[in-house]
């Protein structure tokens, strides 16, 4: 079974680098921070990625968005998966 382990974004709005470590074993992860730092935007990007709705990726300025998944004993990002397939 594959689970999302971590979500990362670089230069969100040209200002913020976020690293969100999820805790699936605890079944809850809290996001908190001041208004306007991108908490909701991060969740919308993840939702868009998982549902194939990529419009959000064109409307939000960021340098790189990464989702790390956990599969048994390995961490793989989509970028790493693409490299393995080549």
45 pLDDT band, cuts 50/70/90, is very high
What are the residue ranges spanned by the domains of the chain?
A: 2-85
Tell me which residue of 5, 31, 8, 33 sits closest to 18, measured CA to CA. Answer: 8
Using pLDDT thresholds of 50, 70 and 90, give the confidence band for residue 24: confident
Give tens-digit pLDDT for 54-64. 888 899 999 99
The DSSP letter of residue 15 is T
- The answer to whether the CB of 9 falls within 8 A of the CB of 3 is no
Tokens linked to 33: 């921070």
What's the rounded Cα separation, in Å, for the pair 81 and 14? 27
Is the pLDDT score of 81 beyond 70? Answer: no
Mean of the per-residue pLDDT values of the chain:
83
What is the C-alpha end-to-end distance of the chain, expressed in Å?
24
């Amino acid at each position: 079974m594959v689970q999302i382990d971590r979500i990362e974004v670089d230069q969100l709005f040209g200002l913020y680098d976020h690293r969100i470590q999820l805790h699936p074993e605890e079944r809850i992860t809290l996001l908190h921070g001041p208004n306007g730092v991108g908490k909701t935007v991060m969740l919308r990007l993840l939702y868009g990625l998982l549902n194939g709705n990529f419009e959000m990726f064109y409307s939000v300025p960021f340098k790189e968005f990464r989702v790390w998944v956990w599969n048994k004993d390995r961490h793989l990002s989509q970028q790493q998966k693409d490299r393995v397939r080549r």
